[in-house]
Amino acid sequence: MIWVRWLLLLVVGAAASAFCPSGCTCNEDMPEVQCVGVTLNMVPMLLNPALKNLNLAHNRLRTINQELLFYENLEKLDLSHNLLSGLSHESFVAQRELRQLRLSHNNISSVEKTSFIGLSKLSLLDLSSNALRDIPPDTLSHTPSLQVLLLSHNRLHSLAVPTFRGLVNLERLDISENYFRQLPGTAFTELSELKSLDVSRNRLVEVLEGDLPLPRLTSLSLDGNSIENIDAAALHYLEALEVLSLSNNLLSTVPTSALSALVSVESLSLSRNNITELSAGAFVGLRRLTTLEISRCPMLSSVSAAALVHCSKLRTLTLSHNPLLRSLPATLFQPLADLQALDLRGNSLETVEGGSAPWDALQALDLRDNSLVCNCSLRWLAELLAQPNTTILDVQCAMPDNLRGVHLSRSVAYTSCLAFRHCDEDTISVATEVDHDSQSRQS
């Protein structure tokens, strides 16, 4: 192999540095070559051997043979969107300086234990959108500097215990859109520095104790699985976790005892679950929680007055598009002294109590698409909406019949709204068309 390389270097000689294939862009200063979407079917061999960046994305490469041996100084190599079906033995053995290797959107169904030999400085490996069924143990032992490993959209369903052995620098792992039914907890034990883990869109049904032994993890996505159950101790090690998404699963209750271990969590999403109720103290222990999202839960019909008592740091609450939610307890929002944005859009709320939150201190309030009954109980809202500097989104009345579709702000601005006429003495009331219509109907 070595003699082949020297022979070729000899033949090619000094002329190599000047060669730039047609359709490519060559920057001799970097030096860098981009040959993107030019139907190449092999890696060009006559480029500047001092090349640092080589981008061959969107071509027709099917294999990589010896060509890369010419480019020992490469730091970034992009082979994404090609037709590679596998990586053979020592494909990158000369790439001792390589930091980023992009192989996404190929058709790679297997890698060899020896495929990544030589990549001792590699920090980013992108193998997403391929056809990988497994990663042989020890494959990644040749890439000890790896910080980011992207394996999304493959066919992985399990990972052997030693898969990640030695990856003490790995900070981000993406195994979303694979076939995992269980979290590969024993493989994760090697990832002592992992900060971000994405396991969304797999086939998980439960999360068990020992599945997430990741004490440095700050961000975890379990979106789009079929999780029905989270063991009480399953999240115990996640004391550094700041962002957790459990949306689009099959949870039927808030997993309160499991969540209570998450002392650092600031953002939690439980949207698109089968949750029926938010019970008292549902978020106990989540003392840093600032953002909570519970949207599009088709079964959610009941919220306890004490559901949010432990959420005193909450700044953004999204409780929207829950079609069975007809009312909220008047005291629900009282513990939320720091609340800045409240999204209650698309529920079936008929009314909202004026005294239940510091409404005028909110920077954003969305009550659109509910079933609001525009009677005197909503006068506080009409008045807020009528302020010229309001940040509140306008809402339409659903009831009574004569006000259906009327915007609440207009109803006050034009004093055309029957709803507020009799609320108290100082309500201005001018006879209008709306007024007339309903009066004539009444008489």
Ligand X SMILES: *[C@@H]1O[C@H](CO)[C@@H](O)[C@H](O)[C@H]1NC(C)=O
- Site residues for ligand X per CB under 6 A: 83, 85, 107, 109, 250, 252, 274, 276, 299, 350-351, 373, 375-377, 387, 389
Residue 39, burial from CB neighbour count under 10 angstroms (0-12, 13-18, 19+): exposed
DSSP 196: E
Closest CA to 381 of 406, 409, 362: 409
> Could you give the CA distance from residue 281 to residue 291 in angstroms, rounded to a whole number?
16
> Could you give the CA distance from residue 112 to residue 225 in angstroms, rounded to a whole number?
30
Please name the residue that has the structure tokens 């029905």: 228
Structure tokens at 405: 């579709």
Closest CA to 308 of 331, 338, 342, 288: 331
Structure tokens at 251: 């949870």
CA dihedral 365, 369, 372, 378 (to 10 degrees): 20
| Residue 194 beta carbon to ligand X: minimum distance, rounded to whole angstroms | 30
Residue 41, burial from CB neighbour count under 10 angstroms (0-12, 13-18, 19+): exposed
| Residue 143 beta carbon to ligand X: minimum distance, rounded to whole angstroms | 24
Residue placing its CB nearer to ligand X in the complex, 65 or 107: 107
**Which amino acid, 269?**
S
> Could you give the CA distance from residue 245 to residue 226 in angstroms, rounded to a whole number?
13
> Could you give the CA distance from residue 164 to residue 140 in angstroms, rounded to a whole number?
7
CA dihedral 112, 113, 117, 121 (to 10 degrees): 100
CB 227 within 8 A of CB 246: yes
> Could you give the CA distance from residue 359 to residue 13 in angstroms, rounded to a whole number?
75
CB 17 within 8 A of CB 28: yes
Classify 336 as helix, strand or coil: coil
- What is the chain's length? 443
- 96 alpha-carbon distance from chain centroid: 33
Residue 273, burial from CB neighbour count under 10 angstroms (0-12, 13-18, 19+): buried
